[in-house]
Amino acid sequence: MTIDLRLEPNEMPLLMDLYHLTMAASFFEEGLNDTACFSMWVRRLPPSRGFLVLAGIERFLEALEEFRFDQAALEFFDSLKLFRKEFLDYLATLRFDGEVRSMPEGAIFFAEEPVLEVRGPLIVTQLFETLALNQIGMASLIASKAARCFVAARGRRLIDFGLRRSQGADAGLIAARSSYLAGFDGTASVLAGKRYNIPLFGTMAHSYIMAHESEREAFASFARNFPRLTTLLVDTYDTLRGVKNACIVARELAREGVRVQAVRLDSGDLLELSVAARRILDQEGLNNVSIFASGNLDEYKIDGLLRAGAPIDGFGVGSAMVTSSDLPCLDAVYKLVEYGGKPRVKCSIDKATLPGSKQVFRALNRDGKFCGDILALREESAQTIMQEFAPPPERVEPLLTIQMQQGRRILPRPSLNDARSLFLANLKALEPRYKDLTNPAVYPLKRSAALNAMVIEQRLWAQKQQS
């Protein structure tokens, strides 16, 4: 019997809404299957967010490489009594043989900027909408939340504690991967550690302390069993007495060559307790023992603690990060922007789209800092776009590059550490005012003259379509 929490690889193509299949069947009957281009972007930045971080691209590309409907899927479609045999026969041979352009994982991006463009036959490319939004949207949401925690922590260690509170097994894996990409030092999730080679962290729970006859016995026993994982959880009973017991055990273990690395605070007033714990540790000559904190933390609480002078050296972040508690979803969309060699536009109120295949150009000053982006047409070049910046920047870089052609990757697969390094470089190049946690400045983004002209042209065309 199949374990229900497992998502089989051959089920990935079924991650779609029913209307994708009914549209595909209608396109098939009408012979509408010319080359289409679909683009994915976030309509608007949420309140208090000054930037977003791209993640999930690699998972999406892996799914496209293996995209096919197996016999079980075809039999299921047939059981719905909606589709003709000729269409199901067509689906049996369907593969993605088109082109994918995207920003790289780890890139910082902003509202309206396409992070992904998929080009190929209309029937197959429109089937990818749910998959792209589900995988890239969620991964980018969590990476962006984690990046805010990274900004707030000011260089302190950050560990993902979110698996148990994640909204499903796959969501926990996405969160571990996305948070590491966005600067976290590691995860408590064993499966994520194995799958993505993310550093693993963890020691004990309160049950371990409670199972022993004394707190000191529990501390000493665990440290002797795992001398490289000697972070002692001190708040099972009275927190400050727990710190004092940790000091006694630390001195005892030091004579055996075992060093206690940290004490962990998991409840209570973390500011008050961390100050008191630091005082006790220092008085006992344990200046090299760190203080690690956890317990319903997010970027706002981390920032508040450090602004108040809490002597905390690292943070475990769980529920708030893994669920992006203050922002449960991104307003991300995957829309048709070109079909049959012609740009296409949607004019819905508050949901209008920009026509045509596009490129994002980023300007950098002589210090390597980002100084603005221009959203342009794909055929425009860095040389022609340079003159649309005022004043002229030191250099201009296109952000979308071809990842797949004829359904296969054309570039080596970047590692998770490659994406992490890109994020850290991008974050360093982003001015502090755009990283403010509560009132970030608006990053300068404008459209090229050619794109603006196409928008006007296509809106006039759309009006004629309804006349």
**Which tens digit of pLDDT belongs to each residue from 97-131?**
999 999 999 999 999 999 999 999 999 999 999 99
pLDDT at 2: 55
Q: Which two three-digit tokens encode residue 236?
A: 């099972």
Instruction: Give the percent of the chain with pLDDT over 90.
Output: 92
By DSSP bridging, strand 186-187 and strand 157-160 are: parallel
Instruction: Give the percent of the chain with pLDDT over 70.
Output: 99
Higher-confidence residue: 4 or 80? Answer: 80
pLDDT at 5: 66
d(CA 420, CA 58): 13
Q: What is the mean pLDDT of residues 258-270?
A: 97
At 37, phi and psi to the nearest 5?
-125, 120
Q: What is the pLDDT of residues 288-344, one digit of tens each?
A: 999 999 999 999 999 999 999 999 999 999 999 999 999 999 999 999 999 999 999
pLDDT at 10: 85
CA geometry: angle 119, 123, 129, nearest 5 deg: 65
pLDDT at 47: 87
Amino acid at 234: V
By the 8 A CB rule, do 373 and 113 touch?
yes
Instruction: Please give the full DSSP string across 158-190, using - where no structure is assigned.
Output: EEE--GGGSSSHHHHHHHHHHHHHTT--EES-H
Q: What is the pLDDT of residues 427-464, one digit of tens each?
A: 999 999 999 999 999 999 999 999 999 999 999 998 88
pLDDT at 1: 46
d(CA 290, CA 309): 15
DSSP code for 342: E
Q: What is the mean pLDDT of residues 141-152?
A: 98
Q: Where are the domains of the chain?
A: 14-142+327-465
Q: Class for domain 14-142+327-465, per CATH?
A: alpha beta
The yes-or-no verdict on residue 86 having pLDDT over 60 is: yes
By the 8 A CB rule, do 160 and 173 touch?
no
Close Cβ partners of 250 (under 8 Å, ≥ 6 residues apart): 259, 260, 284, 286, 289
DSSP code for 200: B
What's the length of the chain? 467
pLDDT at 277: 98
By the 8 A CB rule, do 382 and 397 touch?
yes
By the 8 A CB rule, do 154 and 311 touch?
no
Look-up: residue for tokens 């809404």? Answer: 17
pLDDT at 4: 65
pLDDT at 467: 72
Of the candidates 349, 337, 382, the one whose C-alpha atom is nearest the C-alpha of residue 364 is 382
Which stretch of DSSP H or E encloses residue 291?
strand 290-293
Amino acid at 82: L
Q: What is the pLDDT of residues 234-244, one digit of tens each?
A: 999 999 999 99
